Amino acid sequence: MGAAEQQIAQAMADVATIGILQQRSVHRVSHVAEQLQSALSTRIVVEQAKGVLAERGHVDMDTAFAKLRAYCRNGRLTMGDVSAQIVQRQLPLADVLGVALPHDPAERR
């Protein structure tokens, strides 16, 4: 290969490298954005679950969060999944709060 062909080959390799690095950067940014959106969505449902627990269990928000966190840790469950079950009334609140609650027709077992 002559000098001119080597320069062209090097230029093409450089362009390919830049393209690969740019694609990785775009993928990384997209991945971080997805993670942030997921974290925000989870945080919203956790806050809703805390509100449900606080209101139905007649406890403050800090206690509701502590009970939720303890329930998740003891069962090795994700806070997002348990919170969604609480908000959707799929999980008995007494199980999370550790106390018997008055019967609520809206709460399903």
Predicted confidence at residue 38, as pLDDT, reads 85
CA angle (102, 108, 109) in 5-degree steps: 95
Query: Does residue 72 contact residue 78 with C-beta atoms inside 8 Å?
Result: yes
Q: What is the pLDDT of residue 103?
A: 62
For residue 23 the two structure tokens come to 């694609």
Cβ neighbors of 45 (< 8 A, separation 6 or more) are: 80, 83, 84, 87
Residue 39's pLDDT is what? 87
User: 42: Cβ–Cβ under 8 A, 6 or more apart, which residues?
Assistant: 79, 80, 83
Average pLDDT of adjacent 10-residue blocks, the chain of 109 residues: 90 92 88 88 94 94 95 94 95 87 54
- pLDDT at res. 108: 47
pLDDT at 109: 44
pLDDT at 100: 66
